[in-house]
């Protein structure tokens, strides 16, 4: 490689990258280039394939087609550790430091050569590790063990390990997840430092807004494909991006809160906080749902929607209060909560893949009498006709949309008083969304059901909602009528 060509060849160049998992195309013909001293933002909602792209570059998984070039050298198909040695560093979102070693030792680990005969580290390693610790702001805790550190410091440690490798290309997964705004500032400065040093940086995140101040360019993905590329402003203005995140024009049909007669709301969540290890997943969240009401909680992935629903269903420990019909829910098992009428249809669907559609539905109806069950089944087949024709097919062989319908139908078999729907649109094609949307609309018009819907797709969440909460970084930041959403909260959502 000659010095002249180095200037022309981008540091990282990805071409025609494609990855299939079974029948699912997770990444489809993605290509981009990052120059030295440039930051590219790779954004997309959950399931868009952005994390897969990162793993493909790092060599953690192998691509089906396409190439990854580092300063002109094709590294696609190489094992991870060789790609790392060629100068690619990664900052994982979830850190797993060595718990029995100090912070300094953890940084030193990243400075070690890949050698079997170095029984003693070079003397300068200690000095370099300390310098890196100081750069990321860990200098005062170098002798502590990771278990005693606050969350932000654990993220700093991950950053320190990446710096220690002195990579030419840095991949950062969700750089700001779980951080306070002050911490976001320091982390942004650290990442700008990478750019100033002439490294190529790839930031992977859910939305443009969180990385807009940092990136030189943005590439937006949806369902494995590139949908837009350009400056942060241009991507935020892009029609396709807006449609993916916000949807088109939305007609709402909300009923005022006063229309619901119950004096005490059916579900009251008061000052709910959840910690995952050291990360604050929910911070004093309060919401309520009236009997018969349709409430949507919108927020990006990672905002805390799933955690909120898991807490209500008793699946994660929390502080604060959750009341159901006035009675506290803490100490009650998840199964008892479900039998009590709060039925949760999770993002992951949790179907019984090897059992038939009918068996899945029957299991949902096991708490009912035989006659009730038969009536319920008939009604559901009416709501989702496709399920009737698929009755004897195993759930695992259904398409994504059909699986989602089955998950909702199975939840409805339990005769819920409150149906919690978490991210039902995840990874589904627009035409399926329309079918689901129609079914929800019918549900709302023809039954007195109470629904709590969590969505990142605003187009899907707003039309049926009576009331909307916006969840951002573990907190409720807006509450109101869906008609006011676009004006008051929509801008901050992209």
Partner 1 sequence: MVGLPSSSRKSRSLEPAIVRAMLGLQILIDGFAISALYALGATGFTLIFGVSGVLNLSHGAIMVAAAVAAWALAGNPLFGTYLGALLGVGVGVVVAFATYFIVVRPIQRSRAIAEVEKEIFILTGTLLWGIMIQEAIAYLYTSNPKTVRPLVDGVIGIAGVRTPINELVTAAICWSVIGLLWLLVNRTRAGKVLLAASINPRGVTLLGFELSSVYLLVWAIYGVLAGIAGVLLAMFLGVSSDGIGPLTASAFSIVVLGGLGSVSGSLAAAYVVGYIETITAYMISPAYRTIPVLLLLVLVVYLRPQGLLGRR
Partner 2 sequence: MIALRAITRSRLVWISLLIVAIAATLPLYVSAYILGLLTLAYYFGVFAMAWDLLFGFAGEVNFGPTFLIGLGAYTAGILNSRYGLSIPVCVVAGAAAAVAGGVLLALPALRLRGPYFGLITLVAVLLLQNMIVIFASVTGGEIGMTVTDVLSIDETENYEYALLFMALSGAILFGLSRSPIGLILQASGQDPIEAAALGFNVAKHKLAAFCVSALFSGLAGALLIFYLGTASVGTVVDISVGVQVIIAAVLGGRRTILGGAIGAVFLIVAGEVLRPLGELSTFVVSAVALAVILFFPAGLLGMLMRGREMR
Phi, psi (degrees; rounded to nearest 5) at 329: -100, -10
Q: Quick one: which segment of 19-27, 86-94, 327-335, 439-447 binds partner 1 (CB under 8 A)?
A: 327-335
The yes or no reply on residue 79 touching partner 2 (CB under 8 A) is yes
Asked if residue 131 binds partner 1 (CB under 8 A), the reply is no
* Residue 330 contacts partner 1 per CB under 8 A: no
> What does the angle CA 54 – CA 59 – CA 60 come to, to the nearest 5 degrees?
80
Gyration radius (Cα) of the chain, Å:
25
Q: Are 50 and 43 in contact (CB under 8 A)?
A: yes
Should residue 325 be labelled a site residue for partner 1 when binding is judged by CB under 8 A? Answer: no
Beta bridge partners of 294: 451
Judged by CB under 8 A, does residue 108 bind partner 2?
yes
DSSP state, residue 394: B
Residue 364's binding partner among partner 1, partner 2, none (Cβ under 5 to 8 angstroms by kind) is partner 1
13 vs 347, beta carbon nearer partner 1 = 347
Is residue 273 within a helix (H) or strand (E), and if so which, with residue range?
strand 267-276
3-state secondary structure of 115: coil
Q: Can you tell me which of 24, 98, 131, 374 binds partner 2, judged by CB under 8 A?
A: 98
Annotate 116-135 with DSSP letters as a single string.
Answer: SS--S--HHHHHHHHHHHHH
Q: Which tokens belong to 411?
A: 């939840």
Contact positions with partner 2 (CB under 8 A) in 230-269: none
* 74 bridge partner residues: 69
Residue 322 tokens, joined: 């959750």
Structure token pair of residue 120: 């003693």
Q: Which position among 131, 147, 259, 335 is part of the footprint of partner 1 (CB under 8 A)?
A: 335
Using CB under 8 A as the criterion, what x/- string covers residues 193-212 for binding partner 2? --------------------
Q: Which CB, 202 or 471, lies closer to partner 2? A: 202
Window 359 to 398, contacts with partner 1 (CB under 8 A): 359, 362-364, 366-367
**Interface with partner 1 includes 145 (CB under 8 A)?**
no
| Position among 120, 249, 263, 327 found at the interface with partner 2 (CB under 8 A) | 120
Residue pair 195/223 in contact (Cβ under 8 Å)? The answer is: no
Region near partner 2 per CB under 8 A, out of 56-64, 194-202, 288-296, 382-390: 56-64
Alpha-carbon torsion (395, 396, 397, 402), positive or negative: positive
| Contact of residue 116 among partner 1, partner 2, none (CB under 5-8 Å per partner type) | partner 2
- Minimum separation from the CB atom of position 163 to partner 2 (A): 12
Query: Candidates 73-81, 375-383, 385-393, 484-492 — which segment interacts with partner 2 by CB under 8 A?
Result: 73-81
- Output the CA–CA distances (angstroms, integers) from residue 277 to 307, 336, 379, in the order listed: 13, 26, 43
Q: Which of partner 2, partner 1, none does residue 92 bind (CB under 5 to 8 Å by kind)?
A: partner 2
Contact flag: residue 350 with partner 1 (CB under 8 A)? yes
Residue 287 structure tokens: 């919401």
114 binds partner 2 (CB under 8 A): yes
3-state SS, 207-220, equals: CHHHHCCCCCEEEE
| Distance separating alpha carbons of residues 40 and 33, to the nearest angstrom | 9
Question: From CA 166, how far away is CA 150, in angstroms rounded?
Answer: 25
Q: Is residue 84 at the binding interface for partner 2, with CB under 8 A as the rule?
A: yes
Per rule CB under 8 A, is residue 140 in the interface with partner 1?
no
Which residues make Cβ contacts (< 8 Å) with residue 75, sequence separation at least 6? 59, 68, 69, 82, 83, 86, 88
Give backbone dihedrals phi and psi of 392, rounded to 5 degrees, phi first: -95, 5
> x/- string (CB under 8 A) for partner 2, residues 127-156?
------------------x--x--------
Tokens 């030189």 found at: 216
Angle between helices 370-383 and 430-446 (to 10 degrees): 130
Measured from the CB atom, the residue of 33 and 363 that comes closer to partner 1 is: 363
Nearest C-alpha neighbor of 407 from the set 427, 389, 387: 387
Burial class (CB in 10 A: 0-12, 13-18, 19+), 368: middle
Task: List the one residue from 119, 182, 196, 261 that touches partner 2 (CB under 8 A).
Answer: 119
Choosing among partner 1, partner 2, none, which partner's interface includes residue 442 (Cβ < 5 to 8 Å by kind)? none
Per CB under 8 A, 414 contacts partner 1: yes
Chosen residue from 121, 184, 250, 315 binding partner 1 by CB under 8 A: 315
Question: Is the Cβ of residue 212 or residue 414 nearer to partner 1 in the bound state?
Answer: 414
Where residue 154 falls (left for φ over 0; alpha for ψ -120 to 50; beta otherwise) is: alpha
Q: Does 184 bind partner 1 (CB under 8 A)?
A: no
Binder of residue 121, out of partner 2, partner 1, none (CB less than 5 to 8 A by kind): partner 2
**For binding to partner 2 (CB under 8 A), which residues are involved?**
58-60, 79-81, 84-85, 89-90, 92, 96, 98, 100-101, 105, 108-110, 112, 114-116, 118-121, 123, 125-126, 145, 148, 161, 165
Q: Residues interacting with partner 1, by CB under 8 A?
A: 313, 315, 333-336, 338-339, 343-346, 348, 350-355, 359, 362-364, 366-367, 410-411, 414
């Amino acid at each position: 490689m000659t010095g002249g060509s180095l200037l022309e060849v981008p540091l990282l160049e990805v071409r025609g990258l494609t990855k299939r998992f079974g029948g699912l195309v997770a990444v489809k013909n993605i290509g981009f280039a990052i120059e030295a001293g440039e930051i590219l933002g790779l954004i997309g909602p959950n399931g868009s394939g952005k994390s897969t792209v990162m793993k493909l570059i790092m060599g953690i998984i192998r691509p089906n087609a396409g190439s990854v070039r580092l300063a002109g050298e094709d590294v696609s198909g190489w094992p991870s550790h060789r790609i790392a040695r060629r100068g690619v560093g990664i900052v994982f979102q979830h850190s797993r430091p060595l718990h029995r070693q100090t912070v300094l030792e953890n940084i030193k680990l990243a400075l070690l050569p890949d050698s079997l005969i170095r029984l003693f580290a070079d003397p300068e390693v200690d000095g370099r590790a300390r310098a890196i610790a100081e750069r990321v702001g860990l200098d005062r805790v170098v002798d502590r063990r990771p278990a005693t550190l606050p969350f932000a410091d654990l993220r700093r440690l991950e950053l320190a390990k990446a710096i220690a490798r002195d990579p030419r290309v840095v991949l950062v997964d969700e750089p700001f997840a779980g951080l306070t705004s002050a911490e976001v500032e320091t982390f942004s400065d650290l990442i700008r430092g990478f750019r100033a040093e002439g490294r190529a940086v790839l930031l992977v995140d859910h939305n443009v807004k969180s990385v807009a101040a940092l990136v030189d360019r943005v590439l937006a993905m949806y369902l494995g494909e590139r949908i837009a590329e350009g400056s942060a402003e241009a991507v935020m203005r892009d029609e396709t991006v807006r449609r993916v995140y916000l949807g088109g024009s939305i007609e709402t049909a909300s009923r005022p809160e006063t229309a619901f007669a119950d004096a005490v709301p059916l579900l009251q969540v008061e000052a709910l906080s959840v910690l995952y290890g050291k990360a604050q997943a929910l911070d004093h969240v309060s919401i309520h749902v009236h009997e018969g009401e349709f409430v949507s909680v919108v927020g990006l992935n990672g905002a805390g929607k799933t955690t909120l629903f898991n807490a209500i269903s008793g699946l994660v420990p929390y502080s604060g209060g959750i009341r159901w019909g006035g009675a506290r829910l803490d100490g009650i098992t998840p199964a008892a909560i479900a039998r009590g009428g709060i039925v949760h249809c999770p993002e992951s669907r949790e179907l019984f893949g090897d059992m038939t559609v009918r068996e899945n539905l029957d299991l949902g109806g096991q708490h009912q009498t035989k006659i009730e069950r038969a009536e319920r089944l008939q009604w559901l087949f009416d709501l989702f006709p496709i399920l009737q024709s698929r009755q004897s097919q195993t759930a695992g062989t259904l398409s994504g949309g059909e699986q989602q319908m089955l998950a909702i139908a199975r939840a409805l078999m339990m005769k819920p008083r409150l149906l919690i729907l978490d991210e039902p649109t995840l990874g589904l094609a627009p035409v399926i969304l329309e079918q689901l949307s129609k079914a929800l609309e019918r549900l709302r018009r023809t039954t007195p059901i109470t629904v709590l819907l969590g969505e990142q797709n605003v187009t899907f969440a707003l039309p049926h909602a009576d009331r909307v909460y916006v969840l951002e970084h573990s907190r409720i930041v807006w509450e109101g009528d869906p008609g006011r959403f676009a004006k008051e909260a929509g801008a901050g959502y992209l």
